Amino acid sequence: MAAAASLGAANTAVLKEVKIEIGSFDGLRSWNPVGLSRRRVNFYPVSSSTSRPNSLIKAVSTPVKPATETKRSKVEIIKEHSNFIRYPLNEELLTDAPNINESAIQLIKFHGSYQQYNREERGGRSYSFMLRTKNPCGKVPNKLYLTMDDLADQFGIGTLRLTTRQTFQLHGVLKKNLKTVMSSIVDSMGSTLGACGDLNRNVLAPAAPFARKDYQFAQQTADNIAALLTPQSGFYYDMWVDGEKIMSAEPPEVVKARNDNSHGTNFPDSPEPIYGTQFLPRKFKIAVTVPTDNSVDLLTNDIGVVVVTDADGEPQGFNLYVGGGMGRTHRLETTFPRLAEPLGYVPKEDILYAVKAIVVTQRENGRRDDRKYSRMKYLISSWGIEKFRSVVEQYYGRKFEPSRELPEWEFKSYLGWHEQGDGGLFCGLHVDSGRIGGKMKATLREIIEKYNLDVRLTPNQNIILCGIRKAWKHPITTALAQAGLLQPKYVDPLNLTAMACPAFPLCPLAITEAERGIPDILKRVRAVFEKVGLKYNESVVIRATGCPNGCARPYMAELGFVGDGPNSYQIWLGGTPNQTSLARTFMNKLKIHDLEKVLEPLFYYWKRKRRSKESFGDFTNRVGFEMLQEWVDKWDGVVATRPTYNLRLFADKDTYEKMDELAKLQNKTAHQLAMEVIRNYAATQQNEKGE
């Protein structure tokens, strides 16, 4: 694949020749329930005869780590003394205080929650908690959706939020209600276990419910990987449902892979055979997909898994990619976003063992002294892919095969109506910034409840209604349109691919606006498009975050806004529509009121100097940042022309002026408002006619 071949070069360019020294880590200590003396687990090489059957390539020995002590961060100490993520959280939850202490704040993340407070309130702090569910592949059963909808009203702030990792976030839960909310989620076939914290997060997969072998195999693989890396020590169930484990039976291949210790991957005496007392150095992200479908932003994950099929579409194995990650720190060049790069190919029966080997390599060697450098991308950047592959192969017990050739990637949104392939339909709905509230929330609940639909959440903060009978299409379409959930052809193309993180007022890391700021940014970009002569159906991928951690993946956007001060953003350019290129910093500290001064020249010259069908991201990469900066510096503005399109659109000047007055109240142009009204009217008419 051409995109994969360029990943190493792209990552090298971002590093700017910075060399990072990753300190060694002496491995995790085995479990000792008394906590008095501690001993190391010794990993001994295992002969090839004890490795998995059908191993065609000679096994390699498990690495033996030197017994040296290194500095550890405060969070590592908290984890070690927590009795597997219980203490002191269990005691803090019993107090009358509205908040919990610092140690408990770190531990509750493993349970799927963050403590927050409203940063816009003056005086005392009003503490609450954000809960995040864990939904592999974005699958949400009917009962769980209805429960989440109820919980948002009863215990939250009245809205649900869809995340960029196919999960729900529920904001505003008070400490006294945490157990009620958590137990309700568990009782409704859901979970928040491991949605946050230093362990594997939600496993992504294409959300589309296609009845195709490759899609179903990818989704089943994502489910199995999620099960493999789910904590086993029971802390979650002890805390929220009094120890009652509500779990379906695991596939035997998952249990076998988790328990296998042929190559020294496990802690044999520990209730956490893979994670031990310390879990992972930082969060860990995995995505599974099929060739061409990059709806999951594959290369931004610690591990990317791609199904490889034969000529008949039968799954044969997987290509693996490693080392992606978005988080960074402003003006600290030793932190950076990074694309995953190819590791190799494994046969389908080995995928769980290969994933486990990668996780263990990070567990044993990822930095635990400085959390800024604890993601696996820094380990790979320090070691290089060849050394990393060699160590993983020792835990895997065999060599990786060369990666298989794949076609080019495409971004797939799955918006609108589609055939599932089993006689049913699914409908993908765009949700601005993933925020479900008001009439939209009420209508979605009514439809999902009435037709007993399951739903799926997408990595682009949208929602899919699944299993719809063809006879239901017309009434569902009409109800959705009346609630503002329009077919994609009636939604501004800029909005369809835009994403933003929640940021203010609840996120403690936010520097500026994202979710609340992106609607205005998109309107202003649309106005610039009109001013420089770009067509309505043209678009760029825009993503905004309130801080550099990159939760909405702005470093893959064609135009990324990364908060770096009050009402100020760092501008990133150079991502591509199919999310295979890493953007780069173009400008620091652009004040939001100066947005047009930068965007007008960029889009003006894109309109006039691009090649045929050249995307904005490809254009900025080809032209180069030096030329782009020169255009911005010398910009005198677009030559003013008479807005004749408005006079053509409106029946007379008086109507135009009245529309213009109304539009200004909504921070829009008269043309924008008129087109919005016309599109909505046309959508309603079409829906009423059953089209």
- Catalogue the active-site residues: 132, 201, 283, 285, 501, 507, 547, 551
Taking the CA of residue 412 as centre, how many other CA atoms within 13 Å lie in the half-sphere pointing to its CB? 19
**Residue 293: what are its φ and ψ, rounded to 5°?**
-90, 100
Q: How far apart are CA 605 and CA 618, in angstroms?
A: 13
Q: What DSSP designation does 322 have? A: E
Q: What are the tokens at 264?
A: 């020294």
Distance in angstroms between the alpha carbons of the first and the last residue of the chain: 40
Q: Are 389 and 63 in contact (CB under 8 A)?
A: no
Q: What are the tokens at 453?
A: 């639909």
Q: How far apart are CA 465 and CA 424, in angstroms?
A: 11
Taking the CA of residue 630 as centre, how many other CA atoms within 13 Å lie in the half-sphere pointing to its CB? 6
Q: Are 232 and 272 in contact (CB under 8 A)?
A: yes
Q: How far apart are CA 490 and CA 661, in angstroms?
A: 24
Peptide bond connecting 459 to the previous residue in cis, omega within 30 degrees of 0: no
Q: How far apart are CA 121 and CA 36, in angstroms?
A: 46
Would you tell me the crossing angle of helices 653-665 and 670-688 to the nearest 10 degrees? 90
Q: How far apart are CA 332 and CA 309, in angstroms?
A: 42
Amino acid making up residue 365: N
Q: Are 128 and 189 in contact (CB under 8 A)?
A: no
Where would I find the H helices in 127-177? 142-154
Q: Are 346 and 48 in contact (CB under 8 A)?
A: no
